[in-house]
Each structure stands twice: as C-alpha cells, then as structure tokens.
Structure 1
Amino acid sequence: MKSPARGLLTGVAVAATVGALAGCSAADADQATDGKVELRVATFPPGADAAAYEAFAAQEKQFEADNPDIDIIGVEYEWEGPTFAVQLAGGSLPDVFTVPFTDSKTLLENGQLMDVTDEMEELGYTDSFNPIILDGVTDDEGRIFGFPRQAYAMGLHYNRDLFEQAGLDPDSPPTTWDEVREYAQQISEETGKAGYAQMAINNTGGWQLTAQTVARGGRTQTDGQDGTATSTIDNDGTKATLQFLHDLRWVDDSFGSKVDLDWGTINQEFAAGNIGMYTSGSDVYTALVRDFGLDPEVYGLTVVPTEGADPGTLGGGDIAVVSPTVDDATKAAAVTWIDWYYMQKLLDEDAAVLDAKTLSESGQAVGTPVLPVLSRELYEESLGWIEPYINVPRDQMTPFTDAIWDQTPVGEPKKSTQEVYALLDGVVQTVLTDENADIDALLAQAQTDAQALLDQ
C-alpha cells in the first residue's frame, strides 16, 4: 500500500511476506560463518525481476567489501499490517525491514521496533531530517525508533498510449476532477478499457478515499491536543469522492468491471494496459517497471487535481527499522547497513553516484519522483549528482514534477490509521457494487464506527 521533505506522512501498507532471496536458504540465514555477523535484510516483493536482484547482489558485494565482518542475507519482503505481529512473534521478519509512516507510531508504542536514538545521534544526522517526518518515529520521551528513508506525494498515473488511442493529448493530462471524469469516459468509449480505476480492498480503498478527500479540501480525522482524535469522515470532500466513483461506475460506465483491486492488482492491470488512469504514490513507477513489466514509453504522471477551500496532497513514505528481537551485534550491523544502503545516498555525493550507477547498470529505475525526507535543496542537488544515470522518462512526468511543489502536503491520519482504512474499504466497495447505495447514510455510519475505533 506502498508511497517520501516532506511535510507529508506515510504510505500504504500492502502485504508482509518474507522468503529467501535467490541463492539464500533459511538454513543459510541461521548459520554463522567465519565469525561474521549474519544480517537478514529486506529486499523486494515477490515477483521482482532478475535485474533487481542483480543490482542488489552488486550492492551487497560493495557493502561487504567495506564491512567484511558482516554477511548480508537478502530476503523477499512486502509489508502487510495484519500479519506483522504474527511474523514478528514467529521470527520470520528480516532483521532490517521497512514499515509505512502510518504504522510506525503504533509499532513503536507496542514495543515492536528497536530504539536507535543513540546510533542515529552517533552517525550525526538526527537534525538533518525534516522534523515532521522524524516525529513519526519518535516517542513521547524523544526516543527515535527508525530511519525515515523515502517519501512521496499522491499522483495521478496515466497511460499515454490509451490517451492517444482516445484522441487525447498525453502531454496535457486532466487538471480537474471533472476533466478526469471526461477523459475516463472518452478512453472507455474509444478503447474499451477502464478509463479510470481505484483501489478498494485490503485497506487501500480507505487510503485512496482519504487521499481524494484531502484533494477536495476535506479531512477524515482531526487531532486533539490531549492525544485524542475526532472522526470527520462525513464531510463534503469524502461525499464528492464517493459520488465521483458512483458516477464513473454507474452513469458513465468508464470505471471498468474490476472493483476489488488493491495496490498490487491495480499496478498489474495498469502495467498490462487495461487502465487509463488511477491514483497512487508518486514513487510507484519503480515497482510498475521492476515488478509488473510496464513499458516506460506509455507511462505518464501528473499531480492529483485539487479543489475546495483547503485542498492538499496526501503524502506517504516508509521507515527503515530494526527488529526488536536482535542482539547487540546484529543491531550494530543493522544500523551500519541502513546507513550505507538507505541513508548515505541521500546525504553524500559519492554514495549517491555509486548507488545510481549500480542501479542503472542493472537496468533499474533511477530518478523516480519522490519527496525529500531531508530538504528540498539537498534533494534537488542530489538529482544533479546522479543526472548522468537517470533513466526514467522524467519528461513524461513533468506535469507532476513541475506542479507538486505548489500543492500543500498533508499527512495521513495519525490514529488507528489502518483500522479506519479497513472500515472505509467497505464504504468504497458498497458504492462500486450497489448502484443505489445511500452515500449520506454510509458516511454517517462510517463516522460513528470510526469514532468508536478512535476512542478505544
């Protein structure tokens, strides 16, 4: 569910599965060799292409050359909140993995993340992070439980080829929700494909409903100064979003027949050329190409349309964290890996260039639009560092990269985030499966039910 300056918070959780990386068995991970510290680290979701693993293998070799006392064991990994506790208890999580911003507060409060305050301060860049982002992994006593490593803003992803087939200009994507609806109907009529689709299950329906509520000036939750939260789901922005989905599905017949998509399946459908437009994190291009086989030539990205009195753009991202079950030696190795693999390429020119060169030589995406977890200035400077290796079609993303800085970043709801998203999944599914769904009644009930979750 997955999407990094931000003043934005979080992304979405999708699945948490762990399996051995090619060439690494479970027995390998449990057996020490030559006195080295064996460190199990998260790599890619199942289904990543061979080139991704080739790039990781090259980076693994570079790291181990610099750190000969650490043996890296890569494991496949994809986050899923509902199964996290089971995997943690069962010992099947990697020693180093990532979690979305939305879940970091809950996990640290539950004692499910390792305290890395001293290590981060020793590395000397605690003060380098955007304080809003760092707050997501900081407890009430100021202790830090993870390294923010990537952020994104919500974007509208579109298929340039379907635009052209429908007689639309792919260099002029829609700028309002009314235009999105018009474009979707034209794509559907001219190509027979879904002009627009939206996630609806596994908490992603609630995630995207929240994102589009924010884009229309609404908010689904407000925070009190005493740690309480108030559900505000029943607002004009949420209602307009549900009416938009209803009209696409039942009036225009441009939504398509698949109403049970989540992060993985909507990416699969989009990469296969079956969807004209959908919303998701701006960083999803990498996964679309690496994991789902998207042809880069057909890809387009623009900002999510905004309207209303107080519109914003929902953001997200993830945190690199250490399992709370590891010993001191493994923890030290884990922090060394996080610093090398995730952080230094954000801070240091040589590290950034090495990372970009390695990824580029293995055919991996370099230059996918993200938002900086440090500062905009450093992020833009880093793009200059790696410019020779950027291989994503950024000219097809300029409607996003030119306009995103003018939108107001908004973080995801902070309390019971995934539980409320799961609740809202049902609202989205009802609208997409029942032509006569009573949107007002659905919102009133969802607000009551969400408040009960927030009051627990």
Structure 2
Amino acid sequence: MKSPAKAAIAGFAALAVVGALAGCSADSASSADGRVELRVATFPPGADAAAYEAFESQEAQFEEEHPDIDVIGVEYEWEGPTFAAQLAGGSLPDVFTVPFTDSKTLLENGQLTDVTAEVEELGYTDAFNPIILAEVQDADGNIYGFPRQAYAMGLHYNRALFEAAGLDPDSPPTTWDEVREAAKAISDATGKAGFMEMSTNNTGGWQLTAATVARGGSTQEENGDGTYTSTIANEATKAQLQFLHDLRWEDDSLGDNYLLDWGSINQEFAAGNIGMYSSGSDVYTALVRDFGLSPDDYGLTVLPTENGGGTLGGGDIAVVSPTVDDATKAAAVQWIDWYYMQKLLDEDAAVLDAKTLADSGQAVGTPVLPVLDRETYEQSLTWIAPYVNVPLDQMAPFTEHIFEQTPVGEPKGSTQEIYALLDPLVQAVLTDENADIDALVEQADVDAQAILDQG
C-alpha cells in the first residue's frame, strides 16, 4: 500500500500541477507482489492531513476486500484551462473525476472508457436519476462514467460577518436587492468584501450563467437537432453584470481582489475576508477540509430567483482513463463502485464511510442533490444520521427551500469554452467603471455563436 497521507506530509501541498506524481500507461502496472497498481484521484493540493488519514483508512478497507489491487492516491484538482493538456499528456490517474459539462465532449472525442457492461452488471443503472445519467451517455445510451455527486447553486455566507454588520445570520437575503444591501452593510461595518464573484479559469462564466438562470434567463438554447443558439445578450445576464458593477462602483462592497477562481475565492471566504459568494452547495466539505474554515462561521441559503428563474445544477462523474488495460479497468470499476457508489446504495457501506470520515474529523452530511432517485437518497441520509457533523441548522435556509426551486442543467454546447469567453465580461465590470455592458454581451453573443457553429 502506498498511502497518500505520507506523500502529503512529505510535500504534496507544494505541487501546483494536477497529477504531477503519476502518469497513465497502456501497459498494466503491477506492484512488486504482483497486484494491479491503480492510481486514483484524491484531493486538491493543500488538503489537510486528516483528509488523507481518512483516505488511508478507506484505502486499507478496500484493499482488505480486494487483495489483488494496490491503490495509489494521486493529488488531483480539475481546472478547465489545463485539463485537456493533462489528459492528452497522460498525466492523469487511472480514476479521476470530471464535471458534467466536460463529459459529453470527452466521450464524443473517445477520451472516456465505455463502462456500460460494468454498470449494468453492478445492477443499479435504473437507480440513477435519469436526467443525471444522461450526462454520461452517448446517443446510443452507452455509459461512460459514474455520476457520483451533484449540487445546486447556493449562496454561501459568513455568519460572523453578518453579526458584525448587525444582520441576522438566521435570516439571510432572499432577493438580489437584499444581497446588495447586506453586502454594503458588511463592507461598511467590517471593511471586508460584502460579496465577491469568481472571474477567472472559466469560473466567472460559470457563475454569470448561474445568476442568469436564477434571474430567469439563459445563455444558450438547444435547437433539438444537436445544435445550439447563443442567448447571452439577454436581460438577465445584463442585470447580473449591472448588479456586480453597482456593488463595485456605487457601493464599494466587493473588496479589492477581482481575479478569483474556485480555489482562491474559497480560500478568501474561509479566511473571513468575504461575506457572501455563490457556488455549488457541496463546497462546505472543501472549505473545511482544504481551506480551514471554522464551521461556526458558515451559513448556506438558496440563490435568489426572480422572473421564473431556477437554480443551476451540476456535478461530476468518476471516470476511467481510456489508456488503461483490461485488468486496470476492472480494478478501476471496483474502486469506483466501492469508494463512490456503495455508500449511496448500501446501508453497511454508507455507515462505514460516514464513520470513517467522522472519526477523522471530515465532513459528513454536506447538502447535495441526489444522483440517484430521491427516495434512495433520503434513505441513505437516515443511515448516516448518527455521524452527520456538519452544522445542518446553519444550512437550513438552503435545505428547506432548495426543492422548491426549478433545477436547470448547465449549457451543453461548448460549455467550458463559453464559460472562458464570459470571464472577461465579469472582469470588465469589476475593473472598468465605464464598461459598456450592452456592447460586452452583444459581442460575447457573436463570439459564442461562432464557437457553437464550429461544433
């Protein structure tokens, strides 16, 4: 067994490149004792030692049940601008995760392994939420990955900063106007950023799209024939850009760092420098595990909606590298089933997973959207109830209202490329007081359509 915990202590956190420790090979890799070596994604650089201790325990449990497999943990964090090069260069582990938004492109390009037979043999194809399963299927219904986690967009907020600003952390904002008012109150009272937005590495486009959906608009329409029409130049997108502009230039409530992405905004939030920001509902685990957030400071509510808007959802899938041989593929499927899926389907597996995580101080019970049918999901929550250690009462504004919102999937056409195209729009309104929002969205619409037309 090669534990990632020891590697982490030895200096994993100093690494900046995903998967730099290991490459994939078309030749089967074997341990000195003849076992199949399986390289699996673990955590982003910077995860705390307790996370690796929990993983080490889970690794040992798996290897006890599968003595012919030697699991090797590899640090991993998906980042849009660099992922394609890492995949092409073979620097990813045998098992890794990708967001739903990448899955269609990857499977169409032959860059994911077909696991249809394996999923059917495991017997839970029909248990998946069909909308989510469709994210990993081709036109013929073949399956190229295991949906393992989904989220709805939420508004994350710092309870301590709310209190410092004289706001009630148990009654977070329910409208965009209230978000703006709270952001200004926090900034005026504390000097911190009352609200902040991601703007780099495709995350600005991601969050602008989420806000557009929440405000009743969309950035893209499916034409029903495999083509897409860009709709970026809509009133909801303009309203969100104007919202960000006004917080920055009229209220001065956005702090002074306008080049944040998923990792850096989480770091700033965990450090107590941001009052509110939007992101996936599942981010609490990373905030505590990877960025040192104090659970007492955390609050979560639904993202405000208006004009018939919904909540953007997403998630990721566990996939197998297309370069592995049959023995490694078989080992990979066994790992994915054991590590990701059985805790959602089997009571004993769910309890073992929850207990192992709780014993290592890891988060248990973070709000997610079910990748399986809702009945199965709610049953799994009863299994792990004794081990839930997240502040559920501080997440109640989200969990009590999220199923009242209409779920909306992420745009499917050239998703990451268009997210990248939208990053500069967010950056522009945050750095240029005279940014012409109408002109920005009109040009982005033209540019996005050109990308979509290329297929």
Deviation at 1:381, TM superposition (A): 1.4
Match of 1:418 among 416, 419, 432: 416
Distance 2:200 2:108 in 1: 27
Amino acid paired to 1:145: Y
Write the mapping of 1:82-121 to structure 2, written as runs, cut at 5 A: 82-121=81-120
CA distance in 2, matches of 1:276, 1:97: 33
Provide the C-alpha distance between the structure 1 equivalents of 2:258 and 2:316, rounded to a whole number of angstroms: 27
Partner Cα separation in structure 1 for residue 240 and residue 341 of structure 2? 37
Q: Matched residues in 1 for 2:58 and 2:429: separation?
A: 46
Q: 2:396 — aligned with what?
A: 398
Q: Deviations over 1:193-234 (max 9, x none)?
A: 000001011100000000000000000000011101000001
Distance 1:301 1:248 in 2: 21
Secondary structure, in 3 states, of the residue corresponding to 2:76? strand
Per the alignment, in what secondary structure is the counterpart of residue 39 of structure 2?
strand
> Bigger shift: 217-226 or 370-379?
370-379
Indicate the residue corresponding to 1:271 in structure 2. 270
Any residues of structure 2 matched to 1:195-210 within 5 Å, and which?
195-210=194-209
**Counterpart check, 1:320 vs 2:318:** yes
Alignment of 1:70-85 (within 5 A): 70-85=69-84
- C-alpha distance in 1 between matches for 2:99 and 2:61: 27
How far apart, CA to CA, are the structure 2 residues paired with 1:175 and 1:85?
Answer: 38
TM-score (norm 2): 0.94
- 1:213 and 1:54 map into 2 onto residues whose CA distance is 40
1:42: how far off? 0.3
> Hey, what does 2:133 align to over in structure 1?
134
1:413 Cα deviation (Å)?
0.2
Letter in structure 1 aligned against 2:336: I
What does the per-residue CA deviation read over 1:46-92, in whole Å, with 9 as the maximum and x for residues that have no partner?
Answer: 10000000000000000000000111011000112332333233322
Find the aligned partners of 2:329 and 2:286 in 1 and give their Cα distance. Answer: 29
Alignment of 1:255-334 (within 5 A): 255-308=254-307, 310-334=308-332
Shift in Å, 1:382:
1.0
Equivalent residue of 2:74, what SS? strand
d(CA) in 2 for partners of 1:111, 1:239? 37
- 8 Å contact from structure 1 (residues 200, 429) kept in 2: yes
Shift of 1:298: 0.4
Please give the alpha-carbon distance, in whole angstroms, between the structure 1 residues aligned to 2:362 and 2:104.
32
Note the C-alpha offset of 1:290.
Answer: 0.3
Write the letter of the residue equivalent to 1:366.
V
2:204 matches 1:192: no
**Corresponding residue for residue 10 of structure 1:** none
Deviations 1:121-154 (A, max 9, x none): 1101111111111111111122110000000000
Paired residues of 1:16 and 1:79 also in contact (CA < 8 A): no
**CA–CA separation in structure 2 for the residues paired with 1:383 and 1:20:** 36
Aligned length: 435
SS state of the match for residue 157, structure 1? strand
Q: Which runs of 5+ in 1 are unaligned?
A: 1-14
Task: Spell out structure 1 runs of 4+ moving beyond 3 A.
Answer: none
Identity of aligned residues (%): 78
| Matches for 1:1-150 after TM superposition, within 5 Å | 17-20=18-21, 32-150=31-149
Map of 1:11 onto structure 2: none
* 1:448 aligned to which of 442, 446, 449: 446
Q: TM-score, normalised by structure 1?
A: 0.94
Select the residue among 326, 335, 338 that pairs with 1:337. Answer: 335
CA, structure 1 residues 33+291, in 2 after alignment: closer, same or farther (shift >3 Å)? same
* Structure 1 residues 16 and 322: alpha-carbon distance in aligned structure 2, compared to 1, 3 A threshold: farther
SS in 2 for 1:368: coil
| CA contact 1:41–1:94 (8 Å) conserved in 2 | yes
SS in 2 for 1:410: strand
| CA distance in structure 1 between the aligned counterparts of 2:74 and 2:224, rounded to whole angstroms | 41
Q: Is the 8 A contact 2:80 2:201 kept in 1?
A: no
Alignment of 1:116-265 (within 5 A): 116-265=115-264
Aligned 8 A contact 1:16 1:81 in 2: no
Greater shift, 73-82 or 30-39, is seen at 30-39
Q: Which amino acid aligns with 1:320?
A: A
- Residue 16 of structure 1 contacts residue 80 of structure 1 at CA under 8 Å; is this kept in 2? no
- Which is worse superposed, 240-249 or 72-81? 72-81
* Aligned amino acid, residue 114 of structure 2: D
Alpha-carbon RMSD across the aligned residues, in angstroms, is 1.3
Any stretches of 5+ residues in structure 2 without a counterpart? 1-15
* C-alpha distance 16-154 of structure 1, shift in aligned 2 (>3 A): farther
Q: Separation in 1 of the partners of 2:61 and 2:335?
A: 11
